[in-house]
């Protein structure tokens, strides 16, 4: 695997101290590199791979916040600090609703945590920094381009995600730092949007305010202490006001019910579905994981009804190994 430090952000996109009122280098020192190893037989290995690399942000003494897909089912985690030190980490918790993941450093990072700010107080046009491991040369001076709903194909929905431009090229787990020098989000994705007839990349950021209500649970239990949402193992997208199946997770309820790629979800429990967000909200309103989910499906000219018994996705994942 290439070293985590072999690349640099183009100089024009790097943040400059003179543009910010806080100590930029001090804030960026809280961002660490993260490298995880996942067993080949892990449930997420086929879709996310067995070796994952990205970033994380120290938010407390030895506690690193990152994006959850980097550490899901990880058996080994290495944290790369800015001074060249490398130390092991333990996957402490994962919240499937927000997408946040927590790692406990198994050592003393001896760097200052980045204080948490308020993502709700941010505005479109705010000047921000997307902090990557390695300081200014691996960070991006950016702006908040949008704050809006986001639906992901993997049964994921944020009521209000933050979108930034220019985008960070190594976005996973980057720290979104406000103009006050506080952490206001964690990088999750790079997406493409069209603006003035041209395609440009933006990052989707998970807002930090979603962490505050669940942080204690993640530290104590490894997950949020409430009933899990029902999960179908169905990857979908929205095309012309229709929810279309674009993939099926092996061993999930949709696979067992023989839902196929290309099928269209017409209704949930008899209620017509025309959007991905509507599909998720109706699905989750039926009850916790384990609830039966009646679907009306269109398949190659035929419309039929089928009932899927939902599951708790976390029960299909390998639990962290104790150190």
Domain termination residue (choose one: 195, 226, 257): 226
First to last CA, the chain: 25
Q: What is the mean pLDDT of residues 115-144?
A: 97
Residue 323 within a domain: no
Q: What are phi and psi of 68, to 5 degrees?
A: -65, -30
92 and 112 in a single domain? The answer is yes
Domain termination residue (choose one: 226, 244, 262): 226
Cα–Cα distance measured from residue 266 to residue 81, given in angstroms and rounded to the nearest whole number: 49
Q: How many CB atoms lie within 10 A of CB 45?
A: 16
36 and 109 in a single domain? The answer is yes
Residues 103 and 92: beta-carbon distance below 8 Å: yes
Count of domains forming the chain: 2
pLDDT tens, 59-105?
999 999 999 999 999 999 999 999 999 999 999 999 999 999 999 99
Residue 322 within a domain: no
Residues 186 and 205: beta-carbon distance below 8 Å: yes
Residues 75 and 321: beta-carbon distance below 8 Å: yes
Q: In a 3-state reduction of DSSP, which class is residue 266?
A: strand
Q: What is the mean pLDDT of residues 295-323?
A: 91
Domain termination residue (choose one: 193, 226, 259): 226
pTM attached to this predicted model:
0.95
| Domain extent for 245 | 234-316
112 and 29 in a single domain? The answer is yes
33 and 173 in a single domain? The answer is yes
Nearest to 90 by CA among 224, 219, 216: 219
What integer pLDDT is reported at residue 196 of this predicted model? 79
Cα–Cα distance measured from residue 109 to residue 7, given in angstroms and rounded to the nearest whole number: 23
What integer pLDDT is reported at residue 193 of this predicted model? 86
Say which CATH number the domain at 287 has.
2.30.42.10
Q: In a 3-state reduction of DSSP, which class is residue 205?
A: strand
């Amino acid at each position: 695997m290439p070293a985590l430090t072999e690349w640099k952000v183009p100089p024009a996109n790097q943040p400059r101290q003179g543009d910010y009122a806080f100590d930029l280098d001090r804030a960026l020192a809280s961002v660490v590199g993260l490298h995880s190893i996942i067993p080949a037989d892990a449930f997420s290995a086929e879709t996310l791979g067995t070796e994952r690399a990205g970033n994380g942000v120290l938010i407390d003494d030895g506690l690193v916040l990152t994006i959850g897909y980097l550490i899901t089912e990880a058996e080994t985690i290495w944290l790369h600090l800015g001074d060249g030190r490398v130390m092991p980490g333990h996957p402490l918790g994962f919240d499937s609703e927000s997408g946040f993941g927590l790692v406990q450093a198994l050592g003393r990072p001896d760097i200052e945590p980045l204080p948490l700010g308020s993502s709700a107080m941010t505005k479109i046009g705010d000047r921000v920094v997307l902090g990557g491991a390695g300081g200014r040369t691996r960070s991006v001076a950016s702006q908040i381009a949008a704050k809006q709903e986001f639906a992901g194909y993997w049964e994921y929905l944020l009521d209000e995600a933050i979108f930034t431009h220019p985008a960070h090229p190594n976005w996973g787990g980057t720290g979104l730092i406000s103009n006050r020098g506080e952490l206001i989000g964690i990088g999750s994705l790079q997406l493409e949007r069209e603006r003035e007839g041209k395609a440009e990349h933006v990052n989707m950021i998970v807002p930090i305010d979603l962490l505050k209500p669940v942080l204690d649970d993640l530290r104590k239990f490894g997950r949020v202490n409430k009933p899990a949402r029902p999960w179908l193992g169905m990857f979908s997208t929205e095309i012309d006001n229709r929810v279309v199946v674009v993939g099926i997770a092996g061993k999930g309820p949709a696979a067992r019910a023989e839902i196929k790629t290309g099928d269209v979800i017409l209704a949930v429990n008899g209620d017509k579905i025309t959007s991905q967000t509507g599909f998720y909200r109706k699905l989750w309103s039926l009850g916790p994981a384990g609830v039966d989910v009646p679907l009306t499906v269109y398949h190659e000219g035929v419309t039929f009804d089928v009932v899927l018994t939902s599951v708790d996705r976390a029960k299909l994942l390998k639990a962290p190994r104790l150190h």
